[in-house]
Structure 1
Amino acid sequence: MQNNIFSGLFVGQNLVVLKEVDSTNTFLKNSLSNSKPLPEGTVIMAEDQYAGRGQRENTWHAEPGKNLTFSILLNPTFLSAQQQFDLTRAVSMGVYDALYPLLRDSLKIKWPNDVYYQDKKLGGMLIENILQGAQIKHAVVGIGININQENFHPGAVNATSLKKILQKDYDLQYILAEICNRIEAYYLQLKAGKLQFVRDLYISRLYRLNERHWYKSNEKKFEGIIKNVQPGGLLMVEHDGQEYTYNLKEIEFLDD
């Protein structure tokens, strides 16, 4: 299905819209095993995704037809397995750039790859990389963004949406096209070897950067300051007079 609102070179030029699917990531991964290869940049978008997943095996609850739930196929063979987090950075910033004209400086990227408006979660992503040797052969990039949903599952205490923030409905395919175009732009920066440019920009947009807040690790609560993110993706937090690094499941952000 061609769609001319996608102005990029390849991301979104092959758009498949499904009425209902368990997970767009699972659908796309299953499609990869078929004999006919999908073109790079294929986007699978679901009107209703009933088993979407987030980081830490969280389930993503989305009201049918109200939000963006989609996956993009990328083939970043130019990235090594050690550079997987650079793809996370590029995708996060593509989403950020697409939403920034609407939300301005209240928009931030919460490490590793959630999109926050103030202290509320607007969306997130789950990137599943398929390696071949030391390189990334395929990346299945799953993204969920709350757009027109107003009521959320009681467990999603910090969820918000564009509609809750700005009090109006938005065209899903227009925002989808914006996100895809921006992700493609950062992806091509990575392909051109501009990794440091992407890394520096990602840091500048980080939620809680250089601010003192509460965190928890190994059941211990502490006040810390996010200072940086290492090239491989570890979060650097300063507390108790030293800098410590944390992986995804090793630190929890607490409300102040």
Structure 2
Amino acid sequence: MNLIKLDATDSTNSFLRQLAIQKELEDYTVVTTNRQDAGRGQMGTKWVSEAGKNLTFSVFKRIECLDKDELFYLSMAVSLAIYDTLVYFTIPQLKIKWPNDILSVNSKICGILIESIIQNGKLSASIIGVGLNLNQTNFDGVTNASSLKKITGVYYQKDEVLLKIIENIKKYEAWIVNRELSKLKKAYERNLFRRNKPSTFKLNNGTLIMGFIKGVANNGCLKVLMEDNVMKEFDLKELKLLY
């Protein structure tokens, strides 16, 4: 692992992508920062983190054994790697909220943003961005956010947590390389937030609907059993899980 530590940057994902343009990167090149001024989440949202308190990093990962339409398997692998890491540190009541937020006690403690690098029409690598709330305890103005320290009262060492996450990503990478994709999906679905529970969703036109989360499709769409007993699939642009 090639580790680059920064005091501050706009976004570790952006920094790593620019670095990949400038030179050939070693697999598992990792960039961490104490302060991220323009951290990004899913769908262009901002990831706000108190300087020095949390673990914000990005990983350059060569991934040539997946097709472009199979990229969500990498998302599942990273989600499970972080989930397993938090189990190791005895964080309670963990769930993966589709597509790849990590919750503890129903509060968000981690967000993941994966960006693809396509060469000659094929997936060649990905930049895996992770924001994990470790030691921040003040989340004024941010709803449903928490941290490991706020939940457990324990102070966490960033490097120790980072190394465990990388170790677990490598474990799940082997599943992808060996094409154990159905096994990966089953593990992800087993830990999916509100699976098989009646849930409320908001469509992009503002309409509220009810349904049961049943799992995910191979392309990452959420499979929802509707009130009329019809199974539908939705992508991230189409709906948001409210509760």
Q: TM-score range by the shorter chain?
A: over 0.9
Pairwise CA distance, 1:254: 1.5
Aligned counterparts of 1:236 and 1:81: Cα–Cα separation in 2: 20
What is the aligned length?
A: 241
Partner of 1:145: 132
100-109 or 214-223, larger mean C-alpha shift: 100-109
> CA offsets per residue over residues 32-72 of structure 1, 9 Å max, x none?
111x3110101000011111000011111111111000000
- Is the CA contact 1:103–1:117 (under 8 Å) kept in the aligned structure 2? no
- Is the CA contact 1:80–1:134 (under 8 Å) kept in the aligned structure 2? no
Partner of 1:81: 68
Partner of 2:89: 102
1:189 aligns with 2:169: no
Match of 1:247 among 208, 212, 235: 235
1:216 aligns with 2:216: no
For the residue of structure 2 that corresponds to 1:52, the secondary structure is: coil
Partner of 1:9: none
Pairwise CA distance, 1:134: 4.3
- Is the CA contact 1:78–1:135 (under 8 Å) kept in the aligned structure 2? no
- Is the CA contact 2:91–2:104 (under 8 Å) kept in the aligned structure 1? no
Q: 1:234 to 1:60 in 2, by over 3 A?
A: same
Query: Please, which runs of 5 or more residues in structure 1 have no aligned partner?
Result: 1-12
Partner of 2:184: 198
Aligned counterparts of 2:13 and 2:236: Cα–Cα separation in 1: 20
Aligned counterparts of 1:253 and 1:197: Cα–Cα separation in 2: 25
1:50 aligns with 2:37: yes
For the residue of structure 1 that corresponds to 2:57, the secondary structure is: strand
Tell me the amino acid that sits aligned with residue 174 of structure 1. E
Aligned counterparts of 2:89 and 2:27: Cα–Cα separation in 1: 29
1:231 aligns with 2:218: yes
Query: Please, which runs of 5 or more residues in structure 2 have no aligned partner?
Result: none
Aligned counterparts of 1:14 and 1:78: Cα–Cα separation in 2: 22
Pairwise CA distance, 1:228: 1.3
Partner of 1:177: 163
Tell me the amino acid that sits aligned with residue 202 of structure 2. K
Partner of 1:8: none
TM-score by length of 1: 0.91
- Is the CA contact 1:224–1:238 (under 8 Å) kept in the aligned structure 2? yes
**Percentage of identical aligned residues:** 37
